[in-house]
Amino acid sequence: MMSGTAFLNICTIFALGVLTISFLLVVVRVLKGPSLPDRILALDMLVAVAIGFIAVLGVRSGFTLYVDVAIALGLVGFLATVAFARFVMSGGVDGNKEEAEKERP
């Protein structure tokens, strides 16, 4: 029979492995993303994966301050995503500035 601590260690190691694979796949999407919105979405996903890493490290260490750090990172990630979305909607760097100016009254 496995103890609770051993089970928790196995689960956190598994979670860190899955998050590492996810991180690598998202980095590939950031580098290869065919368009700016794809890259922005991938950067938002990187923030989510980082929050996952912080949460797993918090569970593994038992240090509750990691929760506050994860919440702060989530807030910063949300604000950055909103700022990037506004940038893309205003024309961005994909050369869509002419199209954005045509749509404005």
d(CA 70, CA 79): 14
- Residue of 99 and 21 predicted with greater confidence: 21
pLDDT value for 2: 84
The pLDDT mean for the chain works out to: 88
pLDDT value for 35: 87
pLDDT value for 75: 96
pLDDT by residue (tens digit) across 31-68? 998 888 899 999 999 999 999 999 999 999 999 999 99
Give me the number of domains the chain comprises. Answer: 1
In the chain, what percentage of residues exceed pLDDT 70? 87
pLDDT value for 90: 87
% helix / strand / coil in the chain, to the nearest 5?
A: 85, 0, 15
d(CA 9, CA 60): 7
In the chain, what percentage of residues exceed pLDDT 90? 65
Amino acid in the structure at residue 43? L
| Residue ranges making up the domain that contains 85 | 4-103
pLDDT confidence of 23, banded at 50, 70, 90?
very high
CA proximity to 40, closest of 95, 91, 77, 90: 77
Whether pTM > 0.75 for this model: the answer is: yes
